[in-house]
Amino acid sequence: MDRRVVLEAAVPVYDVDTADEAVRIAIAKTGDSLNPDLNYVDIGPATRECPNCGEPENAAFVAADEGLVALELELTVYNVERDEHAARIARSELGRHLADVPLAVLDVADA
């Protein structure tokens, strides 16, 4: 069975002035790290909510010209039997290319 896995990555960026600039740089940096081997991974800003009010938050935090950006990385894992197996494969594949970037599984669903 094929599974669609969504991971969240915390990508550090440097020398940025705004949150939008941080997101653009983080997406480009992540794309460069994954291509050409993993060019099938969809990369986008993570959707975050304020834990107190439920309002949408920006995916980036910028302080002192440095930022931390939450990105969602989505890919399909083929021929797996369990969700846990698909999540491990996805983390392993992405982790090889994104050294020192924390990854967390957000969702595993049928592809």
- Domain-wise residue ranges, the chain: 3-110
d(CA 4, CA 73): 11
- Give the pLDDT confidence score for residue 47 in this predicted structure: 86
The topology (CATH level 3) of 3-110 is Alpha-Beta Plaits (3.30.70)
For residue 63, what are the contacts with CB-CB under 8 A and spacing of at least 6?
A: none
Q: Taking the chain, what is the end-to-end CA distance rounded to the nearest angstrom? A: 8
d(CA 111, CA 99): 27
- Give the pLDDT confidence score for residue 23 in this predicted structure: 97
Its pTM stands at 0.92
- Give the pLDDT confidence score for residue 58 in this predicted structure: 87
List, for the chain, all residue ranges whose pLDDT scores fall below the cut of 50: none
Residues in the chain: 111
Determine contact, residues 40/90, Cβ cutoff 8 Å: no
- Give the pLDDT confidence score for residue 22 in this predicted structure: 97
Q: Give the DSSP H or E segment for 20.
A: helix 19-34
Give the E-state strand segments of 2-47 in sequence order. 3-14, 42-45
- Give the pLDDT confidence score for residue 88 in this predicted structure: 97
